[in-house]
Chains A and B, each alone.
Chain A
């Protein structure tokens, strides 16, 4: 297909032809095109279909404000819901028009995504005339400056217009300024970079589109997290639509957008145009389009006495457009004087709205400006300036001056001395107001003549069902009137009722218009009504981009012990415990999990097993008051512990609920080593610091984490003493010389070690601690004896559950006291005070129907209860809600018991031992018998071997 709408190429836009396919049809565009400009150049007018009403839609705007032309890229990688106006054309692009909803890819995005932190004294958002002037002024002060702009080239609206600065075309001036800035050492110029969020404390987030698809190296998109001393928002303005009948048809376009297609892309969006305007800027658009070759049939100006004059077309002042004709796209325009004018293009200009989205996100407050008929920044609490069209300064010369002043103010506020001002650049519009359009990353527009304030939004009619307010959401004036008729008065409520402004264009064009229609409908003042709240993101950002490199293996840190590689090499499967990878079990060929765990359990109960216990938290507690400190933290007494001995302890929060448990080793009079559960290591250290720093600063204690300094191996089973004795010939290891709950320093396999007689399985067991650098050497020496079976966390869980030892966080959930666990013995009756003590005297913690930890034996010894299952009183379920007695917290198959068993928290459980309860699981409730929670070796006969 020939590009019969292509007029010429502007300098700087290349000329390389690019092939692309849209809706199954092959086309050619040029480098520098957007998909929208390339489609217009090929005469494609209908691009998408509206979401709710199925109406044909064309290209309405020229950048991120586009509400209509929503496309899906199919190749090289599926990307849903993109605006054709912002997709830069590349060779081989395949796209289709959408009906309000895209399709996500079912394969992983091969492209890389990236994030980076950046800091600057002054961040300038928008490289239009105001932004460039601001960046230049700020950079001249020596401040570190970032200039971010969402367009491929600098200049904002300048390339859209025929303006000149200092006698050169505006686009060329902008490129030169941007290049000069980019060459300075402390200035960073980011193009194709949309600042989409403005958060607290001048934290702004931007996405940079870097244009590489699926490459191995460069990231396709990069998120910039920018902390700025001072921000200059030079975000430009959006042209405002007017609501009239069938204002959504292909061929209806913003006047400034049509001007941009002609000037920036050399594309004619139509052949014969009618202009419908409420201000002067559309006259400049008409002039540019006429000189590019578009016939301007008439200018319909709502004003009785337009400020602008042009003899290139008939001017119908004091009139409005009442509708458009044509089957689908526009073929004629109806005017209020009764005429129907043949035209394929209707250019609309209802005025200009400053782009105040980021300002609003920053918590800025707006005021209504009668002069421009829109909202402008009033006050901001963040450290920012607003410059140019973003605050209603629409002339090019005004923007240049305003930007330079804002940049200098920003630099000074950031502590730099701005140099004497450049002589202000000479703009072609000096003394006039005539300019083009753009937005975030742009600026400066034509605007209504200041002499005649005009705010014109709505062409009155008896039927508002095709007067569109939000084109993307298919919201009409009739919908808004229905909302106000239902009694809604707030624009926020109308937004939610009608969905106006909630589409992925975030109401860039519809927002102020909706406020105006609501004001009109309820007879209120738009100045009082205000706008809806502006929230990030300013424009759509993909989840892949936000995820950056935090995906796949890097999604979350994987913490491993010094033995990890051995576990992997020996076929371990892993369990996630917090961020840790812990060996779960080590299946042998042909073994499933059940077989492997039963074998590992048997090995520990009958001979000897070894487990990597390095993940346990370890805290070194030193100081003369260390014993007193631990007495206050633990429910039981620690100060009576003798040097060389070990005690199990439980910590509660002040509410009396179990927080953590572990062992306490007394290393010296003034030094202890505390172990915590794997998941709570950091929380317990924080807890200690909190009490020391905020409540007990007089205690002379220091706490230091040594979790990863030590590798810890649990050696458990009746054969463990022989294995240890073989590797540690030094100390006597018989039960009398090395009793339960004591520790010794020893050399094990030639490695300096601290050996603790601790058991979490009920068997004779040792925990051997060595410097983590030596962990693998120790582990390999243990296995070299040939006597040791490695076991994982699942076996550890089964063994401890057989003994009724609870796991904090599995058998407890923050509502469980030590007494609930049957551990009254761990709560000191003698100590004056410890954290949680007062709560044990609360009536609630003394209730007899509290949930107690008990054992459960299913009637069918082969039936494995699911963890989390609830327990009920009888085998026949009452009507819901069914009262629950508690739930299963742990459930396993036991080699030692020859059957399945479970632990559960059951209301008044200790009084129910021997009772039959039921577990409803969908079918027939499963009968179980309540037992004491210690099911294996309740006498503790095995711990000494």
Chain B
């Protein structure tokens, strides 16, 4: 049970959160301008590193805020909130 650092509520049990995948994947400014391949890359492709990973969480059972953290996927250490 990870203890996830919610920037608002402080550390809370993982069970209160929903995982949001890779952070900093912005919705394209103008989807219509993208090729099918570029659009598919936005929809379906995400990084999956062993090590530091910037990811999103939503504190669904608490303040319902989305936030980004960097977690080491090999050790589950919170590198930065």
A722 within 8 A of B: no
Determine if A690 and B58 form an interchain contact, defined as CB atoms under 8 angstroms apart.
yes
Nearest chain-B residue to A703 (Cβ)?
B64
B-chain residues with CB within 8 Å of residue A363 when the two chains form the complex: 75
Determine if A200 and B66 form an interchain contact, defined as CB atoms under 8 angstroms apart.
no
B3 within 8 A of A: yes
Kindly state the separation between the CA atoms of A690 and B64 in the bound complex, as whole angstroms.
9
Determine if B60 and A686 form an interchain contact, defined as CB atoms under 8 angstroms apart.
yes
- Chain B stretch 33-47: residues in CB contact (< 8 A) with chain A: 34, 36, 39-40, 42-44
* Contact digits for B50-81, partner A, Cβ 8 Å, 1 yes 0 no: 00000010101000111000000001110000
Determine if A838 and B26 form an interchain contact, defined as CB atoms under 8 angstroms apart.
no
Kindly state the separation between the CA atoms of A682 and B76 in the bound complex, as whole angstroms.
28
B-chain residues with CB within 8 Å of residue A203 when the two chains form the complex: 1, 3
Known contacts A695-B27, A842-B36: A690-B1 contact under CB 8 Å = no
Determine if A201 and B2 form an interchain contact, defined as CB atoms under 8 angstroms apart.
yes
B-chain residues with CB within 8 Å of residue A640 when the two chains form the complex: none
Kindly state the separation between the CA atoms of A138 and B12 in the bound complex, as whole angstroms.
25
A847 within 8 A of B: no
Determine if A695 and B40 form an interchain contact, defined as CB atoms under 8 angstroms apart.
no
Question: Contacting A201 at CB < 8 Å: which of B1, B20, B39?
Answer: B1
Determine if A201 and B34 form an interchain contact, defined as CB atoms under 8 angstroms apart.
no
Question: Contacting A227 at CB < 8 Å: which of B3, B26, B58, B66?
Answer: B3
Known contacts A225-B1, A833-B31, A838-B34: A686-B58 contact under CB 8 Å = yes
Nearest chain-A residue to B32 (Cβ)?
A838
Q: Is the interface of B mostly helix, strand, loop or mixed?
A: mixed
How distant is A846 from chain B, measured CB to nearest CB, in Å?
Answer: 11
A-chain residues with CB within 8 Å of residue B11 when the two chains form the complex: 201
Determine if A654 and B43 form an interchain contact, defined as CB atoms under 8 angstroms apart.
yes
Known contacts A201-B76, A225-B1, A227-B3: A689-B39 contact under CB 8 Å = no
How distant is B13 from chain A, measured CB to nearest CB, in Å?
Answer: 8
Determine if A199 and B39 form an interchain contact, defined as CB atoms under 8 angstroms apart.
no
How distant is B62 from chain A, measured CB to nearest CB, in Å?
Answer: 13
- Chain A stretch 359-392: residues in CB contact (< 8 A) with chain B: 363, 381
How distant is A167 from chain B, measured CB to nearest CB, in Å?
Answer: 44
A-chain residues with CB within 8 Å of residue B27 when the two chains form the complex: 654, 695
Determine if A381 and B75 form an interchain contact, defined as CB atoms under 8 angstroms apart.
yes
Nearest chain-A residue to B28 (Cβ)?
A838
* Contact digits for A822-842, partner B, Cβ 8 Å, 1 yes 0 no: 000000000001000111011
How distant is A578 from chain B, measured CB to nearest CB, in Å?
Answer: 15
A-chain residues with CB within 8 Å of residue B31 when the two chains form the complex: 833, 837-838
B-chain residues with CB within 8 Å of residue A655 when the two chains form the complex: 43-44
A-chain residues with CB within 8 Å of residue B40 when the two chains form the complex: 842
A843 within 8 A of B: yes
Determine if A839 and B60 form an interchain contact, defined as CB atoms under 8 angstroms apart.
no
Nearest chain-A residue to B33 (Cβ)?
A838
- Chain A stretch 864-892: residues in CB contact (< 8 A) with chain B: none
B-chain residues with CB within 8 Å of residue A694 when the two chains form the complex: 56, 66
- Chain A stretch 549-578: residues in CB contact (< 8 A) with chain B: none
Nearest chain-A residue to B34 (Cβ)?
A838
Known contacts A200-B3, A689-B66: A843-B60 contact under CB 8 Å = no
A-chain residues with CB within 8 Å of residue B32 when the two chains form the complex: 833, 837-838, 841
Question: Contacting A693 at CB < 8 Å: which of B2, B18, B42, B66?
Answer: B66
How distant is A200 from chain B, measured CB to nearest CB, in Å?
Answer: 5
How distant is A206 from chain B, measured CB to nearest CB, in Å?
Answer: 14
* Contact digits for B19-30, partner A, Cβ 8 Å, 1 yes 0 no: 010000011100
Kindly state the separation between the CA atoms of A686 and B17 in the bound complex, as whole angstroms.
12
Question: Contacting B43 at CB < 8 Å: which of A199, A381, A839, A841?
Answer: A839
Kindly state the separation between the CA atoms of A15 and B76 in the bound complex, as whole angstroms.
51
Nearest chain-B residue to A693 (Cβ)?
B66
Kindly state the separation between the CA atoms of A33 and B57 in the bound complex, as whole angstroms.
51
Determine if A839 and B39 form an interchain contact, defined as CB atoms under 8 angstroms apart.
yes
How distant is A651 from chain B, measured CB to nearest CB, in Å?
Answer: 15
A-chain residues with CB within 8 Å of residue B2 when the two chains form the complex: 200-201
Determine if A842 and B65 form an interchain contact, defined as CB atoms under 8 angstroms apart.
no
B-chain residues with CB within 8 Å of residue A833 when the two chains form the complex: 31-32
Question: Contacting B39 at CB < 8 Å: which of A686, A690, A838?
Answer: A838
A-chain residues with CB within 8 Å of residue B60 when the two chains form the complex: 682, 686
Q: Which of A686, A690, A694 has the most CB of B within 10 A?
A: A694
- Chain A stretch 680-704: residues in CB contact (< 8 A) with chain B: 682, 686, 689-690, 693-695
B-chain residues with CB within 8 Å of residue A841 when the two chains form the complex: 32, 36
- Chain A stretch 156-201: residues in CB contact (< 8 A) with chain B: 199-201
Kindly state the separation between the CA atoms of A695 and B27 in the bound complex, as whole angstroms.
7
Kindly state the separation between the CA atoms of A513 and B30 in the bound complex, as whole angstroms.
63
A-chain residues with CB within 8 Å of residue B1 when the two chains form the complex: 199-201, 203, 225
B-chain residues with CB within 8 Å of residue A689 when the two chains form the complex: 58, 64, 66
Known contacts A199-B1, A201-B3: A690-B76 contact under CB 8 Å = no
Kindly state the separation between the CA atoms of A698 and B48 in the bound complex, as whole angstroms.
31
How distant is B34 from chain A, measured CB to nearest CB, in Å?
Answer: 7
Kindly state the separation between the CA atoms of A843 and B1 in the bound complex, as whole angstroms.
43
Determine if A200 and B76 form an interchain contact, defined as CB atoms under 8 angstroms apart.
yes
B-chain residues with CB within 8 Å of residue A693 when the two chains form the complex: 65-66
- Chain A stretch 185-239: residues in CB contact (< 8 A) with chain B: 199-203, 225, 227
B-chain residues with CB within 8 Å of residue A695 when the two chains form the complex: 26-27
Can you list 16 contacts pairing A with B, beta carbon distance less than 8 Å?
A: A200-B1, A200-B3, A200-B76, A654-B42, A654-B43, A655-B44, A686-B18, A686-B58, A690-B20, A690-B66, A693-B66, A694-B66, A833-B32, A837-B32, A838-B28, A841-B32
Q: Shortest 4 CB-CB distances between A and B: which pairs?
A: A838-B31, A201-B3, A200-B76, A203-B1
Known A381-B75, A693-B66, A841-B32; further 9 A-B contacts with Cβ < 8 A: A200-B2, A227-B3, A381-B77, A654-B43, A682-B60, A689-B66, A690-B20, A690-B58, A838-B31
B contact set with A: CB distance below 8 Å: 1-3, 11, 18, 20, 26-28, 31-32, 34, 36, 39-40, 42-44, 56, 58, 60, 64-66, 75-77
